[in-house]
Structure 1
Amino acid sequence: MGMTMTQKILAAHAGLDSVSKGQLIKAKLDMVLGNDITSPVAINEFHKAGFTQVFDQNKISLVMDHFTPNKDIKAATQCKQCRTFADDMGIVNFYDVGDMGVEHGLLPEKGLVGPGELVIGADSHTCTYGALGAFSTGVGSTDMAAGMATGECWFKVPGAIKFNLTGKLGKHVSGKDVILHIIGLIGVDGALYKSMEFSGEGLSCLSIDDRLCMANMAIEAGAKNGIFEVDEVVMDYIKDKVFREVKSYKADADAEYDQTYDINLSEIKPTVAFPHLPENTRTIDNVGDVEIQQVVIGSCTNGRLSDMRIAAEILKGKKVKKGVRAIIIPATQKIYKEAMLNGYFEIFLDAGCVISTPTCGPCLGGHMGILAAGERAVATTNRNFVGRMGHPESEVYLASPAVAAASAIAGKIVSPEEVL
C-alpha cells in the first residue's frame, strides 16, 4: 500500500522505508516552536528534567506574540522568562517586541519552515505550515520541552482525508471561505487525528495566503495536520527564503484515504461561522440581520498583506459605521511596513479604523479588543468558542477579510457587494 504526503514525511524523519496508519514512531524534528504562553511551561519542564542545553540553537523558535506588548505583570514575567532562557541557551530565533510577529505569520516569512520538513509547536495552529508542504502540528508544552532537548518527538501516524479541489474561486471568495465551507461540511471532529490533504487542479487558483489560512484551520476540524501538494506557487514563495535542501512529497497513487471529498471552488460563496463553533456555517445569503459592535481583521489566519489589501479595497472612501470598532492587526512587522507603504493605513485611518502593532491580540481574549456581555464581533480569526474574545455572553462570527470589512461599514454582517 502506498503512502500519503504526511506518511512519507514521517517515514523519512523516522528513518523508515514506510509507515502506516496507527503506527507509533519517533521522528527527528526540523523546528520546535513556542510562544509567550506555552514556552514558560516547557522551560519549567526542561529544567525539571535536568536538561542543560538544546539540541540545535537554530532549530528552535520562541515568538512573543500572544500578550505582547505585555498587557500585565504576568505577561511581562512570562516574556522575561523566555528571554532569559533564549539568552542562556543561545537560541537564534527569538522574536520579541520590535522584530516579532504573530508566530504562524512570522516563521514562513522568515524561511524557518519549508517543504518536506517536520515541525512541532506548542500552539494548536502550528498546522499552518502544511501550506508549504511540511508536516506541522501542535503539541503540548511537555512535548515541546522534550523536543527542544532531544530534537525528536513521538507520533502516532495519522490516517488521512483527501480533498480534491477543482474549479476557481469567485469574486470576494478566498481560502477562508473554502476552509469554513469544509469545516461546515465535515464538522469540528470530522478529521479527528487525521491528515487533511489538499490536491487537485483547483490548487492553481489558490494563493499561498489562501493555503496558509486553510492549513491553519485544519485543527478546527480536529485534524492532526493539513498539508498541500508542493507546486509552483509554493516554490515561488520560498525561493528567496529557504536556504537548505527542499524536499517535497507527493502522495502515491495507491495511498489509502479514509474519505475523499470533491470540492468545486467555483461553487463556494462567502461563508460565515456563527457562534459558538467553526462548523456552524452559513453562506452570506443566509446570514439574516446580525448587527455587530466590533470587527477584527488580523490573526495567524488572516493577517497577511493580501488580507490587508482586500480590506483596504473595500474600505477605501468609506466610513466604519458609527458604534462599530474596527481593529486592524497586521501579522508581522514586515507586513505592517508594506501595508503602510502601500497606502492601506491611510485608507484604514480615514475610514475610522485603529491599527495595532503585530500581536495575537483579541483572538484568544488576550487584549486589544475584548468584548463585553451582549456584544458581537465579526473576526477573521479562527475560533469562535464561548468567551473566546472576552465575555462568555459575547459572540464571535468568523469570516473573511472581505466580509469583515464590508460588515464594518454596514454595522451588520453583509456581503462585500452590498457596500461597493
Structure 2
Amino acid sequence: MNNSSHAGQTLAQKLIARAAGRTRVDVGEIVTCKVDLAMFHDSSGPRRLKPMLEELGAGIWDKSRVVLVMDHYVPERDEGSRKIVHIAREWAREQELPHVYDSKGICHVVVPEGGHILPGMFCVGGDSHSPTGGAFGAYMFGIGATEMLGVVVTGEIWLRVPDTLRMFWSGSLQAGVTAKDMMLHMLGRFGMNGGGYQAVEFCGPAVQALSMQERMTLSNMSAELGAQVGLIAPDATTREWLSATGAQVPELSGWTTDSDASCTEHAFDADVLAPMVAAPHSPANAAPVADHAGAPVQVAYVGACTGAKLDDLRAAAAVLRGRRVAQGVRLIVAPASLRDQEAAQREGVLQALLDAGAELFPTSCGACAGYGNAVGDDVTVISTTARNFKGRMGSPTARVYLGSPYTVAASALRGTISDPREVLA
C-alpha cells in the first residue's frame, strides 16, 4: 500500500475526501464525513427512528437531505404491515418531510429516478442494497438503525477508508447476457465475502457499454460480494440518464481512479461470458446455465431492484413476445417502479408479458423480501432477485435459483432452466 502524499487516489478515496473536507485520504484512515443524503424505508426507518429520536429529544439535521420510501410493507396485507406503514406515513406528516415516495416502487430505483443521487455525493441508506447509488459515481452504503439515528441527528458518520478492488471487464456481452450474469460470475469466483471491507469498482469497456439500469444492478449486488460500496465512474451515460430525471448534473471530470492509485485489479472477458444461474441457497452457488439446464421450475419471478427495471422487463419480453409460458409454470412480474411499469405499458412490453401468461404484482419489494409468501411452499423458483437464501422469498421449503430476466423468461417458456440464447436465436 502506498500512502505517500504523491500517490494517486482511487474513486472511493476521492469521494470520501470530498465528504471529509479533505484534499486526499489514505487507506486505513478513520475520517468523519458529512452526509449528502440519508435514505430509509418503511421497514428500516420511522418505526425504529421515531422512538429513539423522541427518547433523545432530538430532531432531523436537514429534512431536505432525507428520503423516505414505502416499499417493503405495501400494499398492506395484514394488521402488522398496516401498523408499520401507518407509523411511517404519520411520522412523514409530523416531520413534514419533503421527499416521500409512498407505493411508487422500490427505494433503490425510485430514489435515483427522483434525481436524488448525483456523482460526487456521499450517501447512506437504511438497506443493505444501498450500494446501488455507486452506479452514479456516488459513495453510498447501507447502515443499521443505530448508525442511521446518528446520521439523522448530526448529518455525519465516520468510516475507515477502504482498499479498492477493481473489476475490469474487457470485451462486450453477447445478446441475452447481462449485468446480472457478470455479477453472478464474480460471486461464483470470489464468494459472498469477496469484497470484504472494501470498495469495489466496476470498470472496463463492457461496464462502460452498460445502460444506467444495468449498472445499477452491478452496484446493487456489490452487497452480495460483501463490499461496502460498488462504484462506477460517471460518464456521458450517467449524465444523460440523470438529465432525463430533471436533475442538475454536476461536473463529472475527476471522478475516476487515478492511473497510479494503489488498488487490486481482477480481469474478466465479457466476450466469453455465458448466462449464469445461482443454485439454492446462495448467490455464490453460481455456474453457467448449462450446468443446470433441464431442471424443472414451477415459478418464474421477474421482480426486485435487480430484476424488474424497464431494461429487465424489456429483456423478459424479448424472450416471451408472441409465446406462452409452459403449462404448470407460474410467471410473476412485479415491476421495480411505477415509472418503469408505465413506460413498459407504453412500449407494449407489459402487454407482451401479460399475453405470455404473466401475473402482474405491485411495484414493491414483495416476494424478494418474503412478503406475502407469493411463491408458495415446496416449489422450485427461478428469480431475478439478488438473494436466494433459504426462506428469503417467504417459504423455507422453496428452492430458489437466480438468473437474469432473459434466463428467467426462457425458463418460464420451457418449464425448465434454459439458456436464453437458444430462444433468442
Question: What is the TM-score when the length of structure 2 is the normalising length?
Answer: 0.94
2:188 and 2:412 mapped to 1: Cα distance? Answer: 24
Q: Residue 216 of structure 2 aligns with which residue?
A: 212
Q: Do 2:384 and 2:404's aligned partners in 1 also have CA atoms closer than 8 Å?
A: yes
Q: Does structure 1 residue 146 correspond to structure 2 residue 153?
A: no
Matched positions, count: 415
Residue from 216, 226, 229 that aligns with 2:230? 226
Aligned residue identity for 1:11: A
Per-residue deviation, residues 130-183 of structure 1 (Å, max 9, x unmatched): 111111100001111221222111112111101122111111001110111111
1:116 matched to which residue of 2? 120
1:341 aligns with 2:349: no
**RMSD of aligned alpha carbons:** 1.4
C-alpha contact 2:375 2:394 (8 A) present in aligned 1: yes
Which of 316, 319, 322 is the matching residue for 1:317? 322
Of the candidates 237, 259, 265, which is equivalent to residue 270 of structure 2? 265
Q: What CA distance in whole angstroms lies between the structure 1 residues aligned with 2:338 and 2:395?
A: 30
The question of whether the paired residues in 2 share the 8 Å contact of 1:9 and 1:118 is answered with yes
Q: CA deviation at 1:243?
A: 2.4
* Residue 42 of structure 1: aligned partner: 49
> 1:395, CA displacement in angstroms?
1.1
> 2-side partners of 1:306 and 1:240: how far apart?
16
* Aligned-partner SS, 2:64: coil
- Deviation per CA, 1:214-265, whole angstroms, max 9, x where unpaired? 00000101000100011111111112332263455111222111x3101111
In structure 2, the residue corresponding to 1:196 is in which secondary structure?
A: strand
Partner amino acid, structure 2, of 1:42 = L
Quick one: which of 386, 395, 402 aligns to 1:398? Answer: 402
Question: Match of 1:239, SS?
Answer: helix
For structure 1, the 5+ residue unaligned runs are none
Q: Is the 8 A contact 2:11 2:256 kept in 1?
A: yes
| Corresponding residue for residue 306 of structure 2 | 301
- For the structure 1 residues 288 and 347, does the alpha-carbon distance in structure 2 shift closer, same or farther, using more than 3 Å as the test? closer
2:281 to 257, 276, 284: 276
2:324 maps to a residue whose letter is: K
Query: CA separation in 1, counterparts of 2:288 and 2:56?
Result: 50
Q: Which residue is 1:202 aligned to?
A: 206
**Which residue pairs with 1:13 in the alignment?**
19
Q: Name the SS of the counterpart of 2:39 in structure 1.
A: strand
> Does the CA contact (< 8 Å) of 2:17 and 2:23 recur in 1?
yes
CA change 1:7–1:351 in 2 (3 A) is: same
Residue aligning to 1:254 = 260
Q: CA deviation at 1:368?
A: 6.2
1:90 alignment partner, one of 91, 96, 112: 96
Which residue does 1:190 correspond to in 2?
Answer: 194
SS of the residue corresponding to residue 300 of structure 1 reads coil
| Amino acid aligned to 1:24 | I
| Aligned-pair identity (%) | 33
C-alpha deviations, 1:308-344, integer Å up to 9, x for none? 1111111111111122111111111111111111112
What is the identity, as a one-letter code, of the residue corresponding to 2:120?
Answer: G
Paired residue type of 2:402? L
The one of 8, 27, 34 equivalent to 1:2 is: 8
- C-alpha change, 1:246 and 1:329, in structure 2 (3 Å) is farther
- Give the counterpart letter for 2:51 in structure 1: N
Tell me which moved more, 226-235 or 281-290.
281-290
Which residue of 175, 193, 196 maps to 2:179? Answer: 175
The answer to whether the Cα contact below 8 Å between 1:46 and 1:146 also exists between their aligned partners in 2 is: no
* Residue of structure 1 equivalent to 2:362: 357
Q: Is the 8 A contact 2:406 2:420 kept in 1?
A: yes
2:393 pairs with 1:415? no
Letter in structure 1 aligned against 2:388? N
2:77 aligns with 71
Alpha-carbon contact 1:410-1:419 (below 8 Å) kept: no
Q: Which 5+ residue runs of structure 2 have no aligned equivalent?
A: 1-6
The 2-side partners of 1:377 and 1:410 are apart by: 14
One-letter amino acid matched to 1:22: G
| One-letter amino acid of the counterpart of residue 287, structure 1 | H
Structure 1 Cα separation of the partners of residues 320 and 244 of structure 2: 32
